Amino acid sequence: QVQLVESGGGLVQPGGSLRLSCAASGSIFGFIMGWYRQAPGKQRELVASITSGGITNYPDSVKGRFTISRDNAKNTVYLQMNSLKPEDTAVYYCNTNPPAMAYWGQGTQVTVSS
C-alpha cells in the first residue's frame, strides 16, 4: 500500500510563496494525483490535479497562483503556491484524484498571516 507524506508547509506573509512536496512510498505512475486542503470548519477541497502525462487542472480560487507538478521517477508531487492569501490557510494533503481513503496522510499546515 502506498503511503503519501506531505511536507513544506509553514507560516508565510500574504503575497509570499511556498512549495509543498508529497513523497510516495511506491509508484504513482498512472494515477491522477491531487492536492487538497481543509481549512478549519470547512470541507476538504481539491485545489490542483495532474495526470501522469502532466495535464493540470485548478479551481478558479487558485488558478494563476498555484502550480502542480510531478516527478514520476521520484514518485513525488509538488505544489508551488505564489501570491498566497490569508484564505489559503489550511492543512494541505495530497492524494489520488478521486481520493482514496487509505492514502490520506497527516498533511502539512500552511498559515498565511502578517
Residue-wise pLDDT for 76-94, tens only, equals: 999 999 999 999 999 999 9
Q: Which residues contact 4 (CB under 8 A, 6 or more apart)?
A: 22, 23, 24, 25, 93, 94, 95, 103, 104, 105
**Residue 88: predicted pLDDT:** 98
**Residue 29: predicted pLDDT:** 87
pLDDT at 2 > cutoff 90: no
Residue-wise pLDDT for 20-66, tens only, equals: 999 999 998 899 999 999 999 999 999 999 999 999 999 999 999 99
SS (H, E, C) 6-49: EECCEEECCCCCEEEEEEECCCCCCCCEEEEEECCCCCCEEEEE
pLDDT at 1 > cutoff 90: no
Q: Residue 112: what residue type?
A: V
Residue 56: strand, helix, or coil: strand
